[in-house]
A = this chain, B = another copy of it.
Amino acid sequence: MSEYFKIDPWGTSYIKDYNRLMEEFGIKPLTDELISQLPFAHRLIRRKIIFGHRDLERIIISIRSGETYAVMTGIKPSGAFHLGSKLTADEFIYFLMLSPKAFGYYAIADLEAYADNKIPLDESYKIAVDNLADLLALGLDPKRVYVYRQSEEMRVLRLAFIFSRGVTYNTLRAIYGEQRFGLYFSALVQAGDILAPQLPENSGPKATIVPVGADQDPHIRLTRDLAQKYQGEFGFILPSATYHILLRDLTGMEKMSKRNPMGILYLSESLESAKKKVMNAFTGGRATAEEQRRLGGEPEKCVIFRELLSVHFMENDAKLRELYLKCKGGEILCGECKARAWEIISKWLSEHKKKKEEMLDIAVKLLEEHTLA
């Protein structure tokens, strides 16, 4: 069995060979030509952190022709928003900003939080409100999104039920490998999440973009297979997707885990705690200052440079490039660089917290609204 079969949306696998992934499964590279057709390119796209896509062309056509399209994502409300949640949230908001005709669907996977993490629904409701407040503070327009809890959204579970008749155990095993039964069930619910925006109640078939991490491609493949299979019945348009590379935690570990709290930066944690984490982050520094001045640092290995500044906190490409060159040239050492990074990050965190505070009421309303597009 080849290496990339290991990709597992529930696991902690780390995919390094994106080219092979693209060749094997038909994810296409996000070319400069395609990027040039977007109204504007997000830093994640400019920096090729989003490296691949399926059928992004369809979304570009929708944008250019002023047609409605759906942007779909979600969250498992099992804890506070962290940098990983922010990454997908940034992508979600970006695809909404590309056209006034885009409409967002945001799934709160509270049944999964219950089944996997034993979080009761009233508890995950509170977490969801908190998560939504973060999402709004990141720039989501509450008028352009339908937020729903899995536990309340009959249409999605109905689709999952219908889709369950359209797949065999062997198909699911081929896509996901041998898994607990419930994970197959979840996969069908996620297919329901992604295709529900195309139901008649949501004004019918439309292009849909789902921004995901590379490890989530099995879900996209299953969903596209099902969209094909039920095309006659529902008229589904195969959903489009973009793929971002998998990122490390602050300590440089490839596997994110709550058991390694120093690795995860929460958007709402205290500045004191956040500072400790940033200052202890894994860098591309050399063994000694002398060596680093002589050989230069290794920014491509550095969490401060990649996971923090490139992905999240340094919007300006020229400044990022300047930092890269200075590091490579041994002109800036890790201590100074971390201090600068912390200045940017702490400012961002402080502002975010303020915005989030103002968003809590809207978050509650958004969850209670439960309206349709």
Q: Taking beta carbons and an 8 Å cutoff, which residues of A are in contact with B?
A: 111, 114-116, 151-152, 154, 157-158, 161-162, 164-169, 171-172, 180-182, 184-186, 188-189
Contacts and interface: CB of A to CB of B under 8 A. Distances in A.
A158 B167 contact: no
3 tightest A-B CB contacts, nearest first = A165-B182, A164-B185, A164-B182
A165 to B, nearest CB: 4
A2 B206 CA distance: 52
With a 10 A CB-CB cut-off, give which of A115, A164, A180, A188 has the most chain B CB atoms: A164
A181 B154 contact: no
B182 A166 contact: yes
A353 B176 CA distance: 53
Contacts of A157: 154, 157, 161
With a 10 A CB-CB cut-off, give which of A166, A172, A185, A189 has the most chain B CB atoms: A185
A32 to B, nearest CB: 42
Given A115-B161, A151-B158, A162-B115, A181 B189 contact: no
A154 B110 CA distance: 13
A152 B151 contact: no
Contacts of A158: 111, 151
A68 to B, nearest CB: 25
A169 B171 CA distance: 13
B181 A168 contact: yes
Nearest to A163: B182
A180 B168 contact: yes
Contacts of A182: 161, 164-167
Contacts of A114: 162
A88 B279 CA distance: 69
Nearest to A172: B181
B154 A169 contact: no
11 contacts: A111-B161, A111-B162, A115-B164, A154-B154, A157-B157, A161-B185, A164-B181, A164-B184, A165-B185, A168-B180, A171-B181
Contacts of A181: 164-165, 167-169, 171-172, 184
Nearest to A184: B181
Nearest to A111: B161
A115 B165 contact: yes
Nearest to A185: B164
A169 B169 contact: yes
